Amino acid sequence: MRKAVLLVDDSAMMRKVVSRTLKMAGLEFEQVLEAGDGAEALTCLRDNNVELIMCDINMPVMNGLELLQRIKEENLAVGVPIVMVTTEGSEPQVRQAILAGAKGYIRKPFSADHIKNSVTPLLAP
Amino acid sequence: MSELLVKARPYSLEHFLSNENLELADETVSEVFRTLLGFTAEALSASDAQGVAGEQNGRTAIVGFSGAMRGYCGVRLSSPAACAIASAMLGGMDIDEDDDSIDDGVGEICNMIAGGWKNRIPELSSRCSLSPPTVISGRDYKIHTVKPSVTVERVYKFDVHTLRVVLDYEQRSAEMGDPSVTPSSCTGELDRIAS
């Protein structure tokens, strides 16, 4: 079993849905850490080591793209794959997220297969 | 060296009112329900939809559009239907009707329908943004928009419940015969507004 995943979304319901779908995709983590916005996620990353970050884009306080920038600036979560999970998903936004350091992009609604196919190749064996 | 100027086409009222638009809405609702909730959602015909009683004590989630199109996507449903959606999102877990996760779930479903619909329209995909969802619960309330607008409404059946989806298109001045502005208000007996 893998160690820890960080789920960042302002919707508690969506954090639960992502957590459940990761399990359904066969990706089980000992610890599921949650943050309601980018600022909470930064605090969490300063105190914890995670193997995967799943992050929404549109959030209050600090959105997902700002979070990517801050992770880079503070040299946090080096080498940890960050997958954006969002309702938005236009080409420019995907490009922007990838340029800012995201390794993958999943559009809501998603199935366990979407998660498995997008996330598994990014994780260390 | 020639320079190519590409001017983005505006999203027109004519396009909004087309059958193609209704098909995109149907496709989106069907995808959200099938993929996330495991339900089949089918659009009712206009005559069948008329027979569906208005939700007396329910919830309405609203997500605003801005940019290339202004307006909103609204999802209105009864409390038991909202409960069924939240329960399905959590893998069938039992949920009380006053659980906060119900508003959260209905707001997210509205967000996905709004986003899925506009992402299917090239003129809107990257040129239209979504507001965070707002969820209203209460009874007999009506929502009025600030500016003159045109709405398209569809009723879908899922499991033993129905769901009403409203797409609202705020008219630009060039599209309006009567430029008068109607006041914004929300009337009725409101229990709660959450966003």
Structural domain count of chain B: 1
Tens-place pLDDT, residues A2-13: 899 999 999 999
8 Å CB contact of B90 and A90: no
B107 to chain A, any CB pair closer than 8 A? The answer is yes
Most A-contacting residue of B106, B110, B119, B135 (CB-CB within 10 A), to test interface:
B119
Q: How is residue B126 annotated by DSSP?
A: T
Residue B43 is part of which domain span? 13-173+184-194
pLDDT (average), residues A71-77: 95
Q: If you classify domain A2-108 with CATH, what class do you get?
A: alpha beta
8 Å CB contact of A11 and B108: yes
Task: Tell me, yes or no, whether B37 lies in a domain.
Answer: yes
For A108, the closest chain B residue by CA position comes to B112
- φ, ψ for residue A115 (rounded to 5)? -65, -45
Tokens at residue B115, please? Answer: 């986003």
B92 to chain A, any CB pair closer than 8 A? The answer is no
Task: Tell me, yes or no, whether B164 lies in a domain.
Answer: yes
* Chain B residues close to A63, C-beta within 8 Å: none
Q: Considering just the CA atoms, what is the radius of gyration of chain B in Å?
A: 17
Tens-place pLDDT, residues A20-33: 999 999 999 999 99
Most A-contacting residue of B125, B130, B131, B158 (CB-CB within 10 A), to test interface:
B125
For B126, the closest chain A residue by CA position comes to A90
* Chain A residues close to B89, C-beta within 8 Å: 13, 16-17
* Chain B residues close to A16, C-beta within 8 Å: 89-90, 101
CB atoms within 10 A of CB B192: 12
Most B-contacting residue of A13, A58, A65 (CB-CB within 10 A), to test interface:
A13
Tens-place pLDDT, residues B20-76: 999 999 999 999 999 999 999 999 988 888 777 666 668 999 999 999 999 999 999
Tokens at residue A63, please? Answer: 């959105």
Cβ contacts of A111-119, under 8 Å, gap ≥ 24: A111/A21, A111/B35, A112/A21, A112/A24, A112/A25, A113/A25, A115/A18, A115/A21, A115/A22, A115/A24, A115/A25, A115/A27, A116/A25, A116/A26, A116/A27, A118/A83, A119/A22, A119/A25, A119/A27, A119/A52, A119/A54, A119/A81, A119/A83
Tens-place pLDDT, residues B108-158: 999 999 999 999 999 998 889 999 999 998 777 777 777 788 999 999 999
Tokens at residue A84, please? Answer: 């954006």
pLDDT at position B185: 44
pLDDT at position B3: 47
For A91, the closest chain B residue by CA position comes to B126
Task: Tell me, yes or no, whether B2 lies in a domain.
Answer: no
Task: Tell me, yes or no, whether B121 lies in a domain.
Answer: yes
Spatial distance between the Cα atoms of B195 and B193, rounded to a whole number of angstroms: 7
pLDDT at position B2: 46
Taking alpha carbons only, the member of B17, B127, B113 closest to residue A109 is: B113
Look up the CATH number of the domain holding residue B103.
Answer: 3.40.1550.10
Task: Tell me, yes or no, whether B8 lies in a domain.
Answer: no
User: Residues in chain A, how many?
Assistant: 125
Tens-place pLDDT, residues B85-108: 999 999 998 888 888 899 999 999
Task: Tell me, yes or no, whether B69 lies in a domain.
Answer: yes
pLDDT (average), residues B2-6: 49
Are the beta carbons of A98 and A75 closer than 8 angstroms? no
**Minimal Cα–Cα distance from B132 to chain A, Å?**
8
User: What ipTM does this complex have?
Assistant: 0.91
Q: Which secondary structure element, helix H or strand E, spans residue B79, and what is its range?
A: helix B79-89
Tens-place pLDDT, residues A98-123: 999 999 999 999 999 999 999 999 99
